[in-house]
Structure 1
């Protein structure tokens, strides 16, 4: 089995592979999919596993920005991991995922995330449960009753606003010290903002993307940098309540809208869990944001079977982290465990689940430094 970069001539075979793994794309989406993946081909971010000349499996590395405690860094989003039915059980999935991890690191990404269809294969190469995409089901009438207390200017947006959307996400996620959310690159946002079935509105410090979903409304993205804008955007969605009874919305687990509702005795929330992997310990620590009040240090030893094992002294102060390789052994973590710690999973949980062992004197400091409630609004 050979792993190599996919090229444009392979895309018909990739579409057949996707059809056999996930079902066919909706009518008319093939051309849009080709436009979306072509940049990945040129960047070496779409890999195929070949048995001779036949495509047996594929995986794509999406180019994202991800925020951790308000600080952005490049992130490799793994998507479209597919193996032909006749090739399953031959280790093709593990083979291509190992190549994906190596390629992401070589491209300079220090962290990676994915939404798993199944967990064991990804855990075996270092990915661990980290956060979720939270979708809450709300009465449309309850959103309509959220009243803006001031004037917020909204306008329709389109592909030409992609740059402003990316800039806005940087401003808002930084100001709110968010952990986990992602942004597509500007070209991909431009492609998504072409969708004629979406309702797209932009404010000075926020935007919303929503659509009809049967008889209900679905909010794909709603990001706001102020309470006034959040109220204006949620009220806009709720204005469909004369027809739509429910709104299904992707939100943060502590999204302000949940505190704006007049009535909140119970709610229906569905989670799509995502997994996370640190690819480069030193770079990932130095690129992450931390609580400004935390000043601490710890020695961690990370075991990564795909390379990158070692011991480091981590120093956190003033909202930034620094890393120094050391010869001594400290807290012992598998790369799965360190990835989960990075994403805010408490040290007590990691120890009880067997992902962390050894010296416990740094546990409280590590919990304070890496505290997070990670989420994503986007599914990929």
Structure 2
């Protein structure tokens, strides 16, 4: 079997494999799927494993921006990982993921994330559970009672507003010192903003994308930089309460809407877990944001069976909201010992005590408190991919 770039001639086979893995794509959506896939083909972001002419497996790399402590960096979003039913259990997925990691590194990405259908495959490729998409269900009436404060100019938006949405996300996630959320590129946002069944509104410092989901409302994205805009957008969604009983929304773990509600007691929250991987230790540490008030140094020892350049002892230095990782030799001070899975989870804010008790960290504990402080995060995503 060989791995090569998928071409437009392979799209029928890709769609067949996708449907065998994830379920049927409605006929009305197939052309939209093809159009969305074409740029990925041209950029070498769709990989296929072939047994002669037969397509056996696929993976796709989506170009995202991801924020960590409010600082954006490129992210390789791994999606559309499929293996033909008759070829499962033969090591195909492992080979494909190794090639996918290598391709992500070739694109210059230092970190990667995915939503797993199964944990063992991705854990064997160095990914570890890090965060979740938090889906909360609220009474629509509760949102309607959020009173707007001041006057916020809202207007309907469409594909031509893609650049403005990206700009809003950059400002809002940066100001909130958010960790984990992603943004599609402008080209993809233009596709999403062209969906006919969605309702889209834009403010100077926020936006909302929502739709009817049967008798209720589903909020795909609602991002606001200010209290006034958050009130205006949530109240707008709640205005459907004369017809809708519930609103299901993708939110941050500590989303302001949960504090804007007049009443709050029992909440129904579904977590869709995602996994994360550090691809390049030095670049990932340098590109991440950190608490500006914290300074210090730590030594960690990392093992990465797929990326030999990550294996070894590293000195991590933090100061003024910036970080750096410098490779060390074999001698000298010892510190925490982690697989790349453990380092990836640490990077995403999973506490050292959890990692030690979960078998992902060992070695000396002298730097644990500093590592907890600099990497502290509540990682989440609003988007599923």
Which runs of structure 2 are paired with 1:143-182 in the superposition (5 Å)?
Answer: 143-182=143-182
Aligned-pair CA distance for 1:322: 1.2
Q: CA deviation at 1:28?
A: 1.2
Task: Report the equivalent of 1:355.
Answer: 360
Aligned runs of 1:165-314 on 2, under 5 Å?
Answer: 165-307=165-307, 308-314=310-316
Q: Deviations over 1:51-92 (max 9, x none)?
A: 111000000000000000000000000000001111111111
Give the gaps of 5 or more residues in structure 2. none
Q: Give the corresponding residue for 2:375.
A: 370
Summarize deviations over 1:90-127 as a string: whole Å, max 9, x none.
11111101110111011100000000011011011110
Q: TM-score, normalised by structure 1?
A: 0.99
Aligned to 1:379: 384
Q: Distance in 1 between matches of 2:75 and 2:47?
A: 17
Displaced runs of 4+ in structure 1, greater than 3 A? none
- For the 8 Å contact 2:335–2:366, the answer to whether it is kept is no
Aligned to 2:147, what secondary structure does the other structure show? coil
Deviation at 1:26, TM superposition (A): 2.0
Contact 2:146 2:260 in 1 (8 A): yes
Bigger shift: residues 32-41 or 202-211:
32-41
Q: CA RMSD in A?
A: 0.7
Aligned to 2:320: 318
Helix, strand or coil at the partner of 1:79: strand
User: Once the 2 structures are TM-superposed, how far is the Cα of residue 359 of structure 1 from its aligned partner?
Assistant: 1.3
3-state SS of paired residue (2:179): coil
C-alpha deviation, 1:369, in angstroms: 0.4
Could you tell me the TM-score, scaled by structure 2's length? Answer: 0.98
> What is the aligned partner in structure 2 of residue 335 from structure 1?
340
What is the total number of aligned residue pairs between the two structures? 380
2:19 is matched with 19
Deviation at 1:36, TM superposition (A): 1.1
| CA–CA separation in structure 2 for the residues paired with 1:53 and 1:309 | 37
Q: Which runs of 5+ in 1 are unaligned?
A: none
Partners of 2:178 and 2:367 in 1: how far apart?
24
Please name the residue that 2:90 is paired with: 90
What whole-Å deviation, never above 9, does each CA across 1:272-309 have from its counterpart, x for those lacking one? 00000000000000000000111011011110000221
**Shift of residue 34 of structure 1?**
1.2
SS in 2 for 1:93: helix
In structure 1, C-alpha distance between the alignment counterparts of 2:139 and 2:27, rounded to whole Å = 31
Q: Is 1:345 aligned to residue 350 of structure 2?
A: yes
Deviation of the 1:376 alpha carbon: 0.2
> Secondary structure of 1:29's match?
helix
Match of 2:63?
Answer: 63
CA distance in 2, matches of 1:43, 1:335: 28
